[in-house]
């Protein structure tokens, strides 16, 4: 299967002009997006568990072969107080995407405060059990998880590992490329060192335009992931004013120039 490149989210008002034509109705944004990109990471599901009806409507707007990643609800990854009913509800909502063969995986993004201790390692087992046989990719924010023990445990649980490009502060996850499950996964967060910890608005952290040289650093890593997993997904999260779309196009162009085969719609 080809490497699929897309963005983290698609429904941004600040994309009108840079990405979406002025006057394009909001309900047509997804169809417009899917005319160029073969996959999208949905982030609204972090704030509320989506309804099956909403996901069915989204599935109807994209072509066959298009795949959605759905970020896990914050109650599952951040609050972690009673996750089993939430995971059951979340799984039920995914049914229309699964039935339409437009579901890629769940992204379980844990906070920086989710430390590599025995309790949290056990919690990963609860996540695996709660999502059943669905593909799940885990994103850590703390560097302390990055070792062979973690990778072996993820493999044993059939959980994917989310590779990241972001500012290389000592406490954050470095840009390692590791595949531990059926889905290899990469997120480009941008390298905005100045605004990563100090910002007024959340989008400021992701306000970053990559150079071709920075994107090219990931070409051998993505090729390696592609060799190790049946499906490789790459998402750009530097979303402010459509910079993510530009980065996705850069990666696609660089891959084509080097003889790789990124998937497309």
pLDDT reported for residue 248: 97
pLDDT reported for residue 54: 98
- Rounded Cα distance between 176 and 181, Å, is 15
N- to C-terminal Cα separation, the chain: 14
Q: How far is CA 55 from the centre of its chain?
A: 17
CB contact set of 193 (below 8 Å; sequence gap of 6+): 167, 169
pLDDT reported for residue 241: 85
Q: Among candidates 150, 226, 138, which has minimal Cα distance to 234?
A: 226
DSSP-derived letter for residue 86 is: H
Number of neighbours of residue 229 by Cβ within 10 angstroms: 18
Tokens of 63: 């072509």
Q: Among candidates 101, 93, 105, 104, which has minimal Cα distance to 137?
A: 105
Whole-model pTM: value is: 0.93
pLDDT by 10s per residue, the chain, length 265: 679 999 999 999 999 999 999 999 999 999 999 999 999 999 999 999 999 999 999 999 999 999 999 999 999 999 999 999 999 999 999 999 999 999 999 999 999 999 999 999 999 999 999 999 999 999 999 999 999 999 999 999 999 999 999 877 677 789 999 999 999 999 998 887 565 556 666 656 667 889 999 999 999 999 999 999 999 999 999 988 899 999 999 999 999 998 776 776 4
Inter-CA distances, 20 with 31, 43, 145, 178, 251, Å: 11, 19, 39, 34, 20
């Amino acid at each position: 299967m080809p490497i699929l490149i897309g963005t983290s989210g698609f429904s941004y008002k600040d994309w009108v002009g840079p990405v979406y034509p002025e006057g394009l109705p909001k309900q047509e944004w997804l169809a417009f997006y899917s005319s160029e990109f073969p996959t999208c990471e949905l982030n609204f599901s972090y704030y509320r568990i989506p309804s099956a009806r909403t996901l069915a409507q989204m599935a109807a707007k994209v072509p066959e072969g298009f795949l959605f990643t759905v970020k896990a609800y914050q109650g599952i990854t951040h609050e972690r107080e009673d996750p089993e009913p939430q995971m059951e509800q979340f799984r039920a909502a995914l049914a229309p995407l699964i039935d339409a063969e437009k579901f890629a995986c769940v992204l379980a993004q844990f906070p920086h405060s989710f430390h590599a201790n025995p309790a949290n390692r056990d919690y990963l087992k609860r996540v695996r059990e709660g999502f059943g046989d669905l593909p799940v990719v885990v994103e850590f924010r703390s560097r302390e998880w990055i070792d062979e023990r973690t990778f072996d445990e993820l493999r044993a649980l059939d959980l994917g590992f989310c590779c990241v490009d972001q500012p290389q502060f000592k406490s954050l996850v470095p840009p390692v490329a590791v595949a531990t499950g059926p889905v290899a996964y990469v997120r480009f967060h941008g390298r905005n060192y100045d605004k990563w910890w100090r910002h007024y608005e959340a989008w400021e952290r992701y306000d970053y335009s990559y150079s071709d040289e920075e994107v090219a650093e990931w070409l051998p890593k993505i090729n390696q992931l592609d060799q190790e997993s049946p499906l490789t997904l790459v998402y750009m999260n530097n979303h402010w004013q459509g910079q993510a779309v530009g980065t996705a196009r850069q990666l696609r162009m660089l891959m084509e120039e080097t003889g790789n085969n990124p998937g497309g719609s």
